[in-house]
Amino acid sequence: DNQTRLKTIIETAVDGIITIDTRGIMESVNPAAARIFGYDTAEMIGQNVSLLMPEPDHSLHDGYIARYMRTGEGQIIGKGREVLGKKKTGKLFPFFLSIAEVKLQDKTIFTGIVHDITDLKKTEERLRESE
Ligand code: HEM
């Protein structure tokens, strides 16, 4: 049925898909997101999404969400931004983050799409060096 198809699409997506609640707690993580950050899905669910980023964002991220909930003004929602992620190994890598707010019947959640740009960056650098 349709729900199974949708689930398969999310499970096979190349980009990472992470949903959080309004406190930043990860509620769902697709296999690509787990692979990109080097965790098992089960290790990520229930943890704060700030687990996946270096300082200063690590310490500030709860405040970013709180400010958005207070003001309705997002810096990334609807635009996207290049940010630095932190893998389980501690290695930092660049990715393009897009965020959508999802107002469900009983609560609000956020969906984050994680598009790894490590290779793109390397190619850009090589091009610049060759100029
Ligand atoms: C806001 C960083 C992952 C949800 C922000 C901001 C930054 C940031 C810099 C805006 C700060 C400002 O006000 O200028 C990061 C980094 C991530 C990450 C480095 C690396 C893992 C995520 C993910 C989600 C998410 C995966 C959702 C599933 C939000 C929300 C806001 C926010 C809801 C507030 C709304 C907005 O500013 O657009 N984050 N974030 N973040 N982030 Fe993240």
pLDDT given at position 4: 97
pLDDT given at position 115: 98
pLDDT given at position 23: 98
The residues with which 86 forms a beta bridge, in sequence order, are 92
Question: In testing the pocket of ligand 1, which one of 99, 108, 111 has its CB within 8 Å of the most ligand atoms?
Answer: 99
Alpha carbons 42 and 90: distance in angstroms, whole number: 19
Structure tokens at 40: 């098992």
Number of domains in the chain: 1
The domain of 125 spans 2-129
Q: How deeply is 109 buried, as exposed, middle or buried, from its count of CB atoms within 10 A (0-12, 13-18, 19+)?
A: middle
- Quick check: helix, strand or coil at residue 90? coil
pLDDT given at position 55: 98
Residue by residue, pLDDT tens for the chain (131 residues) are: 999 999 999 999 999 999 999 999 999 999 999 999 999 999 999 999 999 999 999 999 999 999 999 999 999 998 999 999 999 999 999 999 999 999 999 999 999 999 999 999 999 999 999 98
Minimum-distance ligand 1 atom for the alpha carbon of 19: 28
pLDDT given at position 131: 85
Minimum-distance ligand 1 atom for the alpha carbon of 16: 26
Supply the CATH number for residue 77's domain.
3.30.450.20
pLDDT given at position 97: 98
Q: Is 26 in the pocket of ligand 1 (CB under 6 A)?
A: no
- Quick check: helix, strand or coil at residue 52? helix
